Amino acid sequence: MNVNPQICPHHHGARAVPATLAWRAALAVAVLGLAACASPTHRAPVEDRTSVGQPRSPLPAPGAAPASAAGASTSTAAETAPPRLPAGAENAGKPGYYTVKPGDTLIRVGLENGQNWRDIARWNGLTQPNVIEVGQVLRVVPPQADANGVVARPVAPSGRVESRPLDSAAPRPETPSAGASTPAASAPTATPPVARDGDDDLNWLWPAAGPVLTGFDEVKSKGLAIGGKAGDPVLAAADGRVVYAGAGLRGYGNLVIVKHNATYLTAYAHNQTLLVKEDQAVRRGQKIAEMGSSDAERVQLHFEIRRQGKPVDPARLLPSR
């Protein structure tokens, strides 16, 4: 094989290298150089525009607050937002309104305020009467009542007003003689009965014939405990309308509540049997239940009289035995 010897110009006398070998050597060097450039350990330098260890945040839009400031403002707004107020809270403390306490039910609210629980539900637009929350403020007087909770009622004649017909048979003197005096009416005037303290024209009756076991206590009993045997009759103490009949009020057992007028209602508790239903009209002395011991330690009738929802001593209103 014929080759052209090449001598390195800087090393005279050196051994000649064939041209083909020199070309291959140059090609190998070029390939190694390219491989070195492509190696992961020899990356092209890039401009680092971030802080060490921290990713760079995108630039905010014109007029927008920085992200950190926006997050802080959102958190602050959440912390300073006022809590949700219960329904009707703006009426708290006003006459004619009641603030629900722990343990209250609409039946108890009605008893405490002398109202039919169904009326309270209607006045407040309650679609679910069994769901009320602590702190909720309920209207407990009719919408037509004044600010003091007094309902305007039409004046009706009562049994105490004396009614006498005109005496058309008695001749009227045409010309009374001089000096003659007009004779006084000989018919005696009926004397109205003496009103008892706060009876509000109601003719009260004892609801049971048994002895009084426990007297009135405004804090503890709120009524009278009247003894008897299971099945003894329980009578309506006055004319009225049943506003509740059931066992939905803890501590009262089988309970009947009768509303007599805008002022008074009565409660009959611990019965074994209820003989009336809600919205039923009852008469004074009507048997409305049978005495029992439901939710009580012994057979008894727990009897309450409430004046505008406040318990009063029944012994002050019931007739003497």
Specify whether the CB–CB gap between 110 and 244 falls below 8 A: yes
Percent of the chain with pLDDT over 70: 57
Q: According to the model, what pLDDT value does residue 218 have? A: 84
Phi-psi region of 125 (alpha: psi -120 to 50; beta: other; left: phi over 0): left
Q: According to the model, what pLDDT value does residue 87 have? A: 84
- CATH 2.70.70.10 location in the chain: 212-316
Q: According to the model, what pLDDT value does residue 167 have? A: 39
Question: pLDDT tens digit string along 257-315?
Answer: 999 999 999 999 999 999 999 999 999 999 999 999 999 999 999 999 999 999 999 99
Listed in order, strand segments (DSSP E) in the chain are 97-99, 137-139, 212-214, 224-226, 233-235, 240-246, 254-259, 264-274, 281-282, 287-291, 301-307, 310-312
Specify whether the CB–CB gap between 230 and 299 falls below 8 A: yes
Residue 113, pLDDT > 80, answer yes
According to CATH, the superfamily of the domain at 212-316 is: Glucose Permease (Domain IIA) (2.70.70.10)
Q: Give the whole-angstrom CA distance, residue 107 versus residue 132.
A: 11
0.95 exceeded by the pTM? no
119 or 55, higher pLDDT:
119
Tokens found for residue 38: 């492509």
Specify whether the CB–CB gap between 261 and 321 falls below 8 A: no
| Strand 224-226 to 212-214 pairing | antiparallel
Question: pLDDT tens digit string along 226-239?
Answer: 999 999 999 999 99
Question: pLDDT tens digit string along 30-61?
Answer: 555 544 444 444 444 444 444 444 555 555 55
Listed in order, strand segments (DSSP E) in 66-223 are 97-99, 137-139, 212-214
Q: According to the model, what pLDDT value does residue 220 have? A: 85
Tokens found for residue 81: 């937002």
- CATH 3.10.350.10 location in the chain: 89-139
- Check the CA dihedral 105-108-114-119 and report its sign: positive
Residues 6+ apart with CB under 8 A from 285: 205, 235, 236
The CATH architecture to which 89-139 belongs is: Roll (3.10)
